Amino acid sequence: MGHSLSPAIHGAAFRSLGLDWVYLRFDVEPEALGAAVAGLRALGAMGANVTMPHKETVLEHLDDLSGDARSVGAVNTIQRVGDRLIGHNTDIDGFSRMVVEDVGLDVAGTRCLVLGAGGAARAAVRALERLGAGGVTVAARRVEQAERVAAVADGTNANTLGWDEAERKLGAFDVVVNATPLGMKGELAIASEGLGPSHVVLDLIYDPPTTPLVAAARAAGARAWSGLGMLVHQAAASFRIWTGSEPPVEAMSAAALHAVGRRDPRTESR
């Protein structure tokens, strides 16, 4: 993905621990995904990250999955162990740590709305379940997509809404999570008229750091955060998997803030 901050984040981590490693970014078309994954073995790469739209389709090209990756049906991290490629999902840990450590939010008993039908939405649903949310509702453009995402919540009261209905019922929720790409190009993810001071809004988009949804939520008196914290925490979890070392989270966070701060929205392609 051309907008990725991951090379800067992992580069800072490698330098901090004195590792002679490099993190490279490649844009891979869907029809070339299998060849790209096979190339990890040929190159002797230690691993890789996987971004949308490949988080679900990559599963068929891997040798095994960790528990989290298998339970949510999505992979964002690949680990090479000998000739085997193992799929992991660090988005769950990244989202949970952002909520608890960065936002300082106790979601126990809260009513949560998750917008989206992809791997990020699945991770958010599973994380909210583990954090004790009172109920999770998934909204997507197509109901069958929302139902597949809601199904990853084993023990939580999870249900679905159509997109238009979710917009009308925002007041029924305490926490709203945008796990869609909407907002990366300046569009509002969902109509914000129902937001107010009682809401917490978590937009998993990190670039731009203040999306239209975050801005609208704050204007309505809600507390709102972008996804930069999740990006750093999921990267830290990936780093731990690849290297076996504790990640230098402060250095990674500083690199992320520096990189996103240098972006010029007038010239950068989203």
117 and 205 part of one domain: yes
**Overall domain count for the chain:** 2
pLDDT band at 158, cuts 50/70/90?
Answer: confident
**266, part of any domain:** no
Q: Is residue 134 part of a domain?
A: yes
| 166-180 average pLDDT score | 95
Of the candidates 10, 54, 55, 199, the residue annotated as catalytic is 55
Residue 1 binned pLDDT confidence (cut-offs 50, 70, 90):
very low
pLDDT by residue (tens digit) across 188-205?
999 989 999 999 999 999
User: What DSSP string runs through 135-194?
Assistant: EEEEEESSHHHHHHHHTT-SSS-EEEEEHHHHHHTGGG-SEEEE-SSTTTTS--SS--TT
pLDDT of residue 260: 84
Same domain, 129 and 191: yes
* 121 plus 213 within the same structural domain: yes
210-215 average pLDDT score: 96
Question: How does strand 111-115 pair with strand 135-140?
Answer: parallel
Q: In the prediction, which pLDDT does 3 show?
A: 64
Query: Which pLDDT tens digit goes with each residue over 67-113?
Result: 999 989 999 999 999 999 999 999 999 999 999 999 999 999 999 99
Is the pLDDT score of 264 beyond 50? no
Domain that holds residue 189: 92-228
CATH number of 175's domain: 3.40.50.720
75 & 100 share domain: no
Q: What is the pLDDT of residue 155?
A: 66
Residues whose CB is less than 8 angstroms from the CB of residue 189 and which lie 6 or more positions away in sequence, other chains included: 115, 178, 180, 182, 183, 203, 211, 212, 213
Asked about 55 being catalytic, the answer comes back as yes
pTM, two decimals, is: 0.91
147 and 99 both lie in a single domain: yes
The answer to whether residues 179 and 105 belong to one domain is yes
213 and 99 housed in the same domain: yes
Cis peptide before 208 (omega within 30 of 0): yes
CATH number of domain containing 48: 3.40.50.10860
